[in-house]
Structure 1
């Protein structure tokens, strides 16, 4: 993030994370990085819709209604998010006494060995950190601070004022560095508190999708509750689990909106520099069409395309056949893991771009 912030200070540009790789490393590699970045956020938009729907299933009346899932959760909510883009609480409640000597144990049904289990855990955890680099996607649209009255007076007295570039740099550096640090601290502390309060094999927790139903031993039904919701349920405090679940749904949907924003701006950055006039190849003309904005300076074409590309994914959960449901859940989980790997590639390529930039 410090590398990205330094490059943003000197060159805020649409599609910055792919443009930096193209400029300082290789043009084709920059395009591939941009495509990976768009895929990460476009597929994350759809998988988060599916995740929020799973959170709604906490209430039985919604879980049993296919119409609510299809009409509201999978259709109206994404449409509302597209429109939006166009225009202290106690954690340790149950005080469990867990055996920390088993910290290196893993689910042998989910992974063949400890190292594979570690990699699976890292991949799942990476999904939580997707987005700390969003400052690079939003830098060009931010309203930058203007020189204040004192700077104008200093200029009239022939005193060198503080340039706007310095103000912009400070704004970017603060967001790029401290937001990522804050996210890291919050996620790590939250995960640590969860391990103190609930057993890793608790039946209420979701399991990886490739495990068959009979493997989920000692559990009458597959779990689907978030860790904090499961902890709140066991605490016995009235309506605390409902409160946690509402908060998780809110954060999931706002994160979904952010993902659509980043996906659309990434697609816009990839296509805004293309020439789509006569004589160009047909696919270049199509791609250049997405590099245009409306009269409000919003890349609405890129917004709609990014939302529609994987909008069919959540609807797969409506298939009710037991023999296909596990395969569908596994497919959705694979897509979300591909998104995590995609953003890791983007981060790595921008670190390489900074090294080349720094050398030059």
Structure 2
């Protein structure tokens, strides 16, 4: 049975808020002054996702994970978490390819789970990217300090904030084009570093073949916090799992970009299927190379400052005696953080826009310019970016900002859990209404079982992410707060909204699978004319 037979007038009479109260309005149903524009091409969407998931965490975070867990645990942990991310993208892809609506998974939560979950996820997600923006800006200024410390850090922050603001001011098409080239630099850099790492491991530079030497000495596993035996190895695995989960946060960005993508029913499934595999491949290959090049007991892996100096790739290059490449890697990291900052402003502004059109934020925030830029959301995003000046402070302001930034990681995990549980309810509604999944542009190969596994994994990692504070003599109030305050805040927000609005869970028989499913007429795809176009289409 096709979806055209569902959500009849009779059903809508039972639940009159089905289009407005559950899932917001589709962009084309909004006044012209409140509409986004579909200007992102397939290559833009693909690179936005890659750019969101691959950042400094790949170059720096893998080093800390190696030190905490050892080489085998590093590779296994990132691979395992990569599979969960693939499951996430499959679940999200099935929903968003069918309903590429403004607000992405935040609006889908309103339509298929409850307004309270949408409200809580929306504001949490906006907080995540609004605080990540100044974090990336301050990191960019820190990387410049690799070359010179004569210029005040605040001046660099101002320059980078201005660049990011101008990129987003040009509208979604200009942003998409810039992010495409930024992310292309990321991909080229990662491929080059993986190849270089393999060359170094084989001894082509030093004449000393490393192979898997460091898997034997100091060994496959590291003892976390010097805890002896199996307990220390298990804690090391937990630490790597947490690091890996946080490194992948951002891969879900295409859901927010879906409302501005051309031909979403065709292009989004392509982007999701290809990007998830590439991100997994980049991380797994990189962790294998890292585990071969640097021993887990290397002291530089435990540097407290997140600069290029603690990158395992930089350490390997330095150990090989190659001069000048450290500066190149630092330059690449600078481009990574600028790309991330640009994406942060884009996602935070669209998240706030999604909150507005679903009634969870003031309506005036939905106003857009002629090129489809949600102008007030954009301005608020820039204002949040100025918190980077607070991050540059070495006093109490800098410490407070550090707490705010550290809480974003847990928020990302809870957003994933929200996507999984929304998908489970999405499938419940399909089953109750007799919806034919064969009509969907994309079907998740892992289905509800995979979503449940992903949801449970997110909950477990969220609960265990601050496990280190419960170890003997490791109690730290600041760490406990940054790890668990976001969880308490999420529960309180959800409960307060449900109490205030009296809004319960959306009944499966009232779920709307129609509004927004035919967002725009799909343009006919032009077949490739030559082998160059065939290769390009395969890549993008």
Q: Return the match for 2:154 from 70, 84, 99.
A: 70
Query: Mean alpha-carbon deviation: is it higher for 10-19 or for 301-310?
Result: 301-310
Count of aligned pairs: 304
CA distance in 1, matches of 2:246, 2:101: 26
CA distance in 2, matches of 1:54, 1:293: 34
Report what 1:294 is aligned to: 369
Report what 1:98 is aligned to: 214
Provide, for residues 141-183 of structure 1, a one-character-per-residue CA deviation record: whole Å limited to 9, x for no partner: 1222xxxxxxxxxxxxxxxxxxxxxxx4231111112201210
Report what 1:81 is aligned to: 164
Q: CA deviation at 1:23?
A: 1.2
**Does structure 2 conserve the Cα–Cα contact (< 8 Å) formed by 1:22 and 1:28?**
yes
**Does structure 2 conserve the Cα–Cα contact (< 8 Å) formed by 1:110 and 1:117?**
no
SS in 1 for 2:349: helix
Structure 1 position 190 matched with structure 2 position 283: no
Distance 1:47 1:132, change over 3 A: same
Distance 1:245 1:110, change over 3 A: farther
Structure 1 position 236 matched with structure 2 position 321: yes
Q: CA deviation at 1:77?
A: 0.2
Distance 1:182 1:239, change over 3 A: same
Provide, for residues 64-112 of structure 1, a one-character-per-residue CA deviation record: whole Å limited to 9, x for no partner: 3252x1102x111012101111113411426543144633223417999
Q: CA deviation at 1:52?
A: 2.4
- Superposed, 1:1-360 pairs within 5 Å as 1-59=89-147, 62=148, 64-67=149-152, 69-72=153-156, 74-87=157-170, 88=192, 89-92=195-198, 93=200, 96=210, 97-100=213-216, 102-108=219-225, 113-144=232-263, 168-208=264-304, 224-274=309-359, 287-309=362-384, 311-313=386-388, 315-319=390-394, 328=399, 332=402, 334-360=403-429
Unaligned runs of 5+ in 1: 145-167, 210-221, 276-283
CA distance in 2, matches of 1:66, 1:122: 38
Distance 1:182 1:336, change over 3 A: farther
* TM-score scaled by length of structure 2: 0.52
Q: CA deviation at 1:344?
A: 1.5
Report what 1:151 is aligned to: none
Distance 1:99 1:142, change over 3 A: closer
* TM-score scaled by length of structure 1: 0.75
**Does structure 1 conserve the Cα–Cα contact (< 8 Å) formed by 2:222 and 2:232?**
no
Provide, for residues 40-73 of structure 1, a one-character-per-residue CA deviation record: whole Å limited to 9, x for no partner: 21222122222223322322xx2x3252x1102x
SS in 1 for 2:101: coil
**Does structure 1 conserve the Cα–Cα contact (< 8 Å) formed by 2:133 and 2:344?**
yes
CA distance in 1, matches of 2:238, 2:158: 34
